Amino acid sequence: MAEDDPALLRLRVARAEPAADGIQLLELRHPDGSDLPAFTPGAHLSVRVPSGAMRNYSLCGDPRERDRYLLAVKREEGGRGGSVSLVEGVRAGDEIEVSEPRNLFELDGRAPEYIFVAGGIGITPILSMIRHVRAEGTKRFHLYYLTRSAGVTAFREELSAPDLAGHVTIHHDDGDPDNAFDLWPVFEEPTKAHIYCCGPRPLMDAVRDMTGHWPEKAVHFEDFGSDLVRPRADDTPFRIRLGRDGEELEVPVGVTIMEVLRGHGRRVPSSCESGTCGTCRTGYLEGKVDHRDMVLSPAERKKSLMVCVSRAKSDLLVLDL
C-alpha cells in the first residue's frame, strides 16, 4: 500500500460480500462512526486499491445515507488489475483510502422524467439515481437493465421487487447477440425525458447512435474511459525521460506512465486515471505520443498528454517533469 495521501479519507470496510457472480459489494464506514461527506446521484469515489493504484467506482447507495458508502466492483480479468486487487485483497475490517465523492454523471433535477439504461456493472451509478428519484417521489422513470444472465445481475432481487413492476425491465441475452434487447422503440420518438446510460462501450455506442435525433443535453453517458485504459494487442514497451537530461524509466506493456512514475516516487496529480478528467495533464518535449484520452484538443496534444492512459509511438518520450 502506498503511503497515505492527506487528501484521501481512510474508511473501514464494514461488509465485503458477493452481489452477483464476479461482483463484490463493499460497504464503507468511517472508523469512528462519523457521517461521511455527502454525495449526489451518479457520483463516484477514487479508491486506492491494495496494489497502490487509484481506480474509480460509482456509488450505488442512497444519497440520503450519510453513514455509509456502497460500491459494487466487478472483477475484471482483462483490466489493469485494480478490480482484482480490490476484490481479492480487501476484506471486512480492513481500512482503505478513498477520495471524497465526485460527480461527472450528474442527474439533472430539472428533467420531468428519466430513462435509465444500464449494461452489466453499469447499474451502479444508475441505482443511486433510482434510489434518489424514488425517494423524491415526483418523477417518472424506467430502467432497462441488460445483462448476460441472471447470475451476473447485481441487485436483481431489489430491482425485481413488486413495487418496481412497470418501472424496470431486466433482460438477459445469454451471450447471444441475436438475443439482444431492442432499444429502438424506446428512443424512436423523442420525449421530454433525460436519458442516462452506463455500461459496456458497444451498448453506449448503440444508445448514442439511436438518440442522435434527441436534444444533445438530454442524453448522458458514463464509463470512466474503461476502454481507454485496457491494454491493446499492439502495445509495446517504451522509455520515458524526466526532462531533457533526467532519469530514464522503462514503461512495460500493461503498465501506465503514471504507474511507473508513482513506482519511482514521482507524484503526478491524478483523479480518474482513465483519460476522462484532465487532472494528470503533463507536458512533453520530445517523442511521438499515442494519445488515448478523451480530454485534449488536437492543438493541446502537440504539447501535452495524459499520463494515466497515453503511451508512446516512439521508443522514447521526454516528459516536461
Say which CATH number the domain at 288 has: 3.10.20.30
Give me the sign of the Cα torsion angle 18, 19, 23, 25: negative
Mean pLDDT of 80-101: 89
The answer to the question of residue 133 being in a domain is yes
The SS3 assignment for 296 reads: coil
Global pTM reads: 0.78
Residues 122 and 174 in one domain: yes
Q: Which three cell numbers stand for residue 124?
A: 451502479
- Label residue 54 by pLDDT band (50, 70, 90): confident
Q: 254 and 213 share a domain? A: no
Q: Supply 11's cell numbers.
A: 474508511
pLDDT on residue 271: 73
The stretch 210-235 carries a mean pLDDT of: 82
- Decide which of 176, 198, 224 is a domain's last residue: 224
Residue 34 domain-assigned (yes or no): yes
Asked whether residue 230 is assigned to any structural domain, the reply reads no
The answer to whether position 62 is within a domain reads: yes
Same domain, residue pair 148 and 191: yes
- pLDDT recorded at residue 218: 96
d(CA 96, CA 8): 9
Tally of structural domains, the chain: 3
Question: What's the average model confidence in pLDDT over 210-233?
Answer: 82
Q: How far is CA 44 from the centre of its chain?
A: 8
Cα dist from 197 to 190, 245, 317, whole Å: 16, 47, 37
Q: Is residue 1's pLDDT more than 70?
A: no
Q: What phi-psi label fits residue 204: left (phi over 0), alpha (psi between -120 and 50 degrees) or beta?
A: alpha
Q: Are residues 141 and 216 in the same domain?
A: yes
Domain boundary among the residues 167, 192, 224 is at 224
Domain identity same for 127 and 182: yes
Question: What band does 227 get if pLDDT is binned at 50, 70 and 90?
Answer: low
pLDDT at 295: 82
- Provide the residue range defining the domain that includes 200: 113-224
Q: Identify which has the larger pLDDT, 92 or 230.
A: 92
Domain identity same for 290 and 259: yes
Domain termination residue (choose one: 224, 246, 266):
224
Q: Is residue 21 part of a domain?
A: yes
Shared-domain flag, residues 20 and 91: yes
Residue among 198, 184, 154 nearest 172 (CA): 154
Least confident of 50-59, 69-78, 131-140, 265-274: 265-274
Across the chain, what does the average pLDDT equal? Answer: 91
My answer on whether 246 and 181 are in the same domain is no
- pLDDT reading at 201 higher than 90: no
User: In one letter, which amino acid is 148?
Assistant: R
The answer to whether residue 140 is domain-embedded is: yes
Short-list 220, 70, 224, 90, CA closest to 155: 70
Whether 92 shows a pLDDT value over 70: the answer reads: yes
Pair (63, 118) in one structural domain: no
Q: DSSP string spanning 177-200?
A: GGG----HHHHSS--S-EEEEES-
Burial of 112 (0-12, 13-18, 19+ CB in 10 A): exposed
Tell me if 158 is assigned to some domain: yes
Residue, of 310 and 267, whose pLDDT is higher = 310
Report which of 129, 269, 246 is spatially closest to residue 197, judged by C-alpha positions.
Answer: 129
pLDDT > 90? residue 278: no
**Reported confidence tier of residue 220, pLDDT bands at 50, 70, 90:** very high
117 & 218 share domain:
yes
Residue 198 CB contacts under 8 Å (≥ 6 apart), including other chains: 58, 105, 117, 118, 119, 122, 123, 124, 125, 126, 204, 221, 222, 223
Instruction: Give the percent of the chain with pLDDT over 70.
Output: 95
* Range from 78-82, 200-204, 208-212 carrying the lowest mean pLDDT: 78-82
For the domain that residue 39 is a member of, what is the CATH number?
Answer: 2.40.30.10
At residue 224, does pLDDT exceed 70? no
d(CA 310, CA 289): 7
Task: Please check whether residue 105 lies inside any domain of the structure.
Answer: no
pLDDT confidence of residue 244? 84
Q: Are residues 29 and 92 in the same domain?
A: yes
Q: Report the pLDDT value the prediction gives residue 276, as an integer from 0 to 100.
A: 75
Least confident range of 13-27, 109-123, 147-161, 244-258:
244-258
For residue range 238-277, list pLDDT tens digits in order: 999 999 889 999 999 988 999 899 889 888 888 777 787 7
Give 129's contacts (C-beta < 8 A, 6+ positions apart). 41, 42, 107, 114, 116, 196
CA-atom Rg of the chain in angstroms: 21
- Strands annotated E in 176-288: 194-198, 219-222, 238-242, 248-251, 281-286
* Mean pLDDT for the stretch of residues 94-122: 95
User: What pLDDT is attached to residue 3?
Assistant: 44
Q: For the residues 35-49, what does the mean pLDDT come to? A: 94
Q: Please name every residue paired with 221 in a beta bridge, in sequence order, or none if there are none.
A: 197
- The DSSP output letter for 109 is T
CB 203 within 8 A of CB 229: no
Q: Is the pLDDT assigned to residue 313 strictly greater than 90?
A: yes
First to last CA, the chain: 25
Is 287 found in the same domain as 214?
no
Count of CB atoms within 10 A of residue 164's CB? 15
Per-residue pLDDT tens digits for 67-89: 999 999 998 876 666 788 899 99
**CATH number where 188 lies:** 3.40.50.80
